[in-house]
């Protein structure tokens, strides 16, 4: 390893050759302000177009200021990060950026979370001396994501997320000069493109150019409608992140406060998607065992590996990019949709009301879920199983709207029957969790033996692709895990090439799984936040009295009273789905 020595702000620094000034400065606690630059450790995400020029610093002997994010340290370099010249340059750069940015901060969805706004404040911009033409670009409103490219500062982070991390390839910079904009091919709207709605572009956008489609008002309307019975379900990963929106330390579990807040907001029943996650394991676990059993009996037709299907971003990816493999994933619906189907059948019957009287709201760490609940196969006579899906951020907004002091709310419990859950369902919120939950149940059903230890450490972690072999009483079961669609692509290519030796694979669209979902409180580039959320998820699991889905007493009751057994006709009708070939075909004139 070659090292270089340099001076930054009068302090000596020793770094590996190739280190940028920005990274070198960090090692001595100097944070050079940056805007377009973003790096997510271990997630194959490094965006450094060197475009915004906010991070300029003075390098002795150089005529021009140097962008710290792009300039590598040289031996003997003398760098000053905070001179009058530097500060003036940064202010000029910021004013130029702002001169083509709509000054709509008061009503912008990103206000308070906007990195551009924060940077302008930090630089003390009080006046914009440059007046000129403003970029105007058509709006684009998909069921999940809204694009307002007038607010784009061309940092290109969304492109890095879409192309490098997710390999979805929907976004690219198009046109040139002042007309340049980030857009899908042929400037089509997102809902005509192959967008998976994973929302990772939204998660990294520094401004209000990319935001989620906000449905909070629909929720408020339902809550004040005396005719509606409004039911809420909350996804596992929400409880590990919601507290951040109220200034709580990342990784703080707020399950009880969240239940209390939802009740105060006026939901008639505060239920839990975790219940449906347990149900997913019952169905998916049975499917895994069914396929495995047939495979062991020499059935050549059986499709292995089986792929998990609870992530709608991943399902969209499969339908658009790998439709030829659409019979490989489990047919189990996502927990969100299982919940909706059961709420509007089993639970509606218990209440003795028609399903249309129920309004099911889901709180999700996810933007793809917004799209998922609009899929026509998930509605009955035009009535969707899940009416509205809001993100963790939107729930925080509802709580602020209602003027609730979230931090001081007392802990409350979920309602029964659809609020009861096990530790296995909680870990759905992190990469590796779904397959661990499935293994806990599949192992016991397959071997007829009780697990001595329910923690499968070998399935946990943050590496993009992981593999482990679990011993099913002498039968080695090979398990693969991928999070981030780029990693999923690698495993899918292997399957396509006939090289995969896995029996089961868990795939999550977002880096980290749902804890890193596109609807979670913004991490602003701090990956440590995701790790803290992950620890919180496992902590919640460890604290649960029941940790295996098949032992959830309300799940047992649901099968006894209503569904019969996993993969029964009733289960198939309510809890299973199928996938579509959505690959764009080139139209040919014959």
Partner 1 sequence: MANIKIPESKIEELRGICKKFNNDSGELINVLHSAQVLFGYLPAEVQELIAEELNVSVAHVYGVVTFYSFFSMLPKGRHPISICMGTACYVRGAEKVLEEFKRLLKVKVGETTDDGKFSLSCLRCVGACGLAPVVTIGERVYGRVAAEDVKKILGEY
Would you tell me which residues interact with partner 1 (CB under 8 A)? 163, 168-176, 183-186, 193, 584, 586-590
55, 69, 108, 310: the catalytic one is 310
Which one from 60, 104, 349, 377 is the annotated catalytic residue? 377
Reading the block at residue 408, the tokens are 């001081």
- Exposed/middle/buried for residue 413 (C-beta within 10 Å: 0-12, 13-18, 19+): middle
Element (H, E) at 36: none
Nearer to partner 1, 3 or 173 (CB): 173
Catalytic choice (372, 394, 436, 506)? 372
Kind of pairing, strands 3-8 and 11-16? antiparallel
Q: What's the closest the beta carbon of residue 588 comes to partner 1, in angstroms?
A: 6
Q: Residue 459 phi/psi, 5° resolution?
A: -95, -5
Minimum separation from the CB atom of position 142 to partner 1 (A) = 15
For residue 47, the minimal CB distance to partner 1 (Å) is 16
Spatial contact of 242 and 255, defined as CB atoms under 8 Å apart: no
DSSP state of 563: I
Q: Where are the alpha helices (DSSP H) in 9-66?
A: 21-27
Neighbours of 590 (CB within 10 A): 2
Show the tokens assigned to 102.
């709509």
What contacts 341, CB < 8 A, 6 or more positions away? 333, 378, 385, 574, 575
**Nearest approach, Cβ of 499 to partner 1 (angstroms)?**
19
Joined tokens for residue 560: 């006894």
- Residue 411: phi and psi, rounded to 5, are -70, 135
Tell me whether residue 377 is one of the annotated catalytic residues: yes
Task: Please report how close the Cβ of residue 343 comes to partner 1 at its closest, in angstroms.
Answer: 39
CA-CA distance, 59 to 62, in Å (whole number)?
A: 6
What is the distance between the alpha carbons of residues 342 and 574, in angstroms, rounded to a whole number? 7
At closest approach, how far in Å is the CB of 399 from partner 1?
A: 37
Rounded to the nearest 5°, which phi and psi values hold at 28? -110, 20
Q: Which is nearer to partner 1, 63 or 590 (CB)?
A: 590
Is residue 2 annotated as a catalytic residue, yes or no?
Answer: no
Q: Which is nearer to partner 1, 169 or 266 (CB)?
A: 169
Residue among 195 and 424 whose Cβ is closer to partner 1: 195
Any catalytic annotation for residue 205?
A: no
Residue 386 gets which letter from DSSP? S
User: Which candidate in 287, 319, 394, 540 is catalytic?
Assistant: 287
What lies within 8 Å, CB to CB, of 209 at 6+ separation is 147, 148, 149, 150, 151, 152, 153, 158
Does the active-site annotation cover 104? no
Catalytic choice (330, 391, 425, 571) = 330
Q: How far is residue 507's CA from residue 511's CA, in Å, rounded to a whole number? A: 10
Q: Does residue 394 carry a catalytic annotation?
A: no
In 297-413, which residue ranges form alpha helices assigned H by DSSP? 312-321, 335-342, 348-351, 368-372, 392-401
> Is residue 310 annotated as a catalytic residue, yes or no?
yes
Q: Where are the alpha helices (DSSP H) in 392-451?
A: 392-401, 423-426, 433-447
Distance separating alpha carbons of residues 390 and 213, to the nearest angstrom: 9
115, 148, 159, 284: which one is catalytic? 284
Is 514 one of the annotated active-site residues of the chain?
Answer: yes
| Shortest CB 526 distance to partner 1, Å | 29
The Cα diameter of the chain in Å comes to: 81
Exposed e or buried b per residue across 117-134, where buried means at least 16 C-beta atoms within 10 angstroms of its C-beta: bebbeebebeebeeeeee
Here the tokens at position 419 are 């609020």
Residue 169 or 256: which CB sits closer to partner 1?
Answer: 169
Measured from the CB atom, the residue of 156 and 548 that comes closer to partner 1 is 156
**Element at 508 (helix H, strand E):** strand 504-508
Q: Nearer to partner 1 by C-beta: 316 or 421?
A: 316
Query: Least CB distance from residue 173 to partner 1, whole Å?
Result: 6
* CB closer to partner 1, 164 vs 412: 164
To the query of whether residue 287 is one of the catalytic residues in this protein, the response is yes
Q: Minimal distance in Å, beta carbon 585 to partner 1? A: 9
Q: Which of 151, 333, 369, 532 is catalytic?
A: 369
Which residue lies nearer to partner 1 by CB, 201 or 437?
Answer: 201
* Residue in 204, 87, 228 with CA at minimum distance from that of residue 152: 204
**Given the complex with partner 1, which of 98 and 161 has the nearer CB atom?**
161
Find tokens 């809550």 and name the residue.
223
Q: How far is the CB of 305 from partner 1 (least distance, A)?
A: 24
Q: Which of 514, 532, 548, 549 is catalytic?
A: 514
**Which residues are tagged catalytic?**
284, 287, 310, 330, 369, 372, 377, 514
């Amino acid at each position: 390893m070659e090292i270089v020595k340099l001076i930054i702000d009068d302090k000596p620094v020793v770094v590996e050759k190739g280190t940028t000034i920005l990274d070198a400065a960090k090692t001595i606690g100097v944070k050079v302000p940056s805007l377009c630059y973003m790096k997510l450790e271990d997630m194959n995400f490094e965006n450094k177009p060197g475009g915004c020029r906010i991070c300029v610093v003075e390098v002795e002997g150089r005529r021009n200021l140097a962008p710290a994010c792009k300039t590598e340290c040289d031996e003997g370099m003398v760098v000053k990060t905070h001179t009058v010249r530097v500060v003036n340059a940064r202010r000029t750069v910021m004013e130029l950026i702002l001169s083509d940015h709509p000054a709509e901060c008061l009503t912008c969805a990103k206000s308070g979370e906007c990195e551009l706004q924060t940077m302008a404040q930090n630089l003390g911009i009080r006046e914009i001396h440059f007046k000129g033409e403003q970029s105007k670009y058509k709006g684009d409103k998909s069921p999940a994501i809204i694009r307002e490219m007038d607010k784009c500062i061309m940092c290109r982070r969304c492109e890095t997320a879409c192309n490098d991390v997710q390999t979805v390839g929907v976004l690219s910079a198009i046109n040139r000069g002042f007309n340049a904009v980030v857009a899908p091919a042929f400037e089509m709207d997102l809902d005509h493109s192959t967008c998976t709605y994973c929302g990772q572009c939204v998660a990294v956008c520094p401004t209000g150019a990319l935001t989620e489609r906000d449905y909070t008002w629909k929720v408020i309307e339902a809550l004040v409608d005396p005719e509606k019975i409004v039911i809420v379900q909350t996804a596992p990963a929400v409880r590990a992140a919601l507290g951040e929106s109220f200034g709580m330390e990342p990784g703080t579990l707020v399950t009880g406060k969240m239940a209390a807040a939802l009740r105060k907001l006026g939901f008639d029943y505060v239920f839990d998607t975790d219940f449906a996650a347990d149900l997913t394991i019952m169905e998916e676990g049975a499917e895994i065992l069914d396929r495995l059993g047939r495979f062991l009996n020499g059935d050549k037709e059986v499709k292995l590996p089986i792929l998990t299907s609870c992530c709608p971003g991943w399902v969209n990816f499969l339908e658009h990019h790998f439709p030829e493999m659409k019979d490989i994933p489990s047919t189990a619906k996502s927990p969100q949709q299982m919940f909706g189907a059961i709420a509007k059948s089993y639970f509606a019957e218990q209440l003795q009301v028609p399903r249309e009287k129920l309004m099911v709201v889901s709180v999700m760490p996810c933007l793809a879920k917004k799209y998922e609940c609009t899929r026509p196969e998930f509605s009955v006579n035009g009535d969707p199983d899940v009416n509205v899906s809001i993100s963790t951020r939107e729930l925080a907004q509802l709580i602020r709207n209602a003027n609730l002091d979230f931090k001081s709310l007392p802990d409350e419990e979920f309602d029964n029957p659809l609020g009861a859950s096990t530790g296995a369902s909680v870990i759905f919120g992190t990469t590796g969790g779904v397959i661990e939950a499935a293994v806990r149940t599949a192992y016991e059903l397959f071997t007829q033996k009780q697990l001595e230890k329910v923690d499968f450490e070998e399935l946990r972690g943050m590496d993009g692709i992981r593999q482990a072999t679990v011993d099913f009483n002498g039968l080695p079961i090979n398990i693969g895990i991928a999070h981030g669609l780029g990693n999923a692509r690698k495993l899918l290519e292997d399957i396509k090439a006939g090289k995969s030796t896995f029996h089961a694979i868990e795939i999550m669209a977002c880096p980290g799984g749902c804890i890193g979902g596109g609807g979670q409180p913004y991490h602003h580039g701090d990956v440590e936040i995701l790790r803290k959320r992950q620890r919180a998820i496992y902590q919640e699991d460890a604290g649960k009295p029941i940790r295996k889905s098949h032992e959830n007493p309300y799940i047992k009751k649901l099968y006894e009273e209503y569904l019969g057994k996993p993969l029964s006709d009733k289960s198939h009708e309510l809890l299973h789905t199928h996938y579509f070939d959505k690959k764009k075909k080139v139209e040919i004139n014959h």
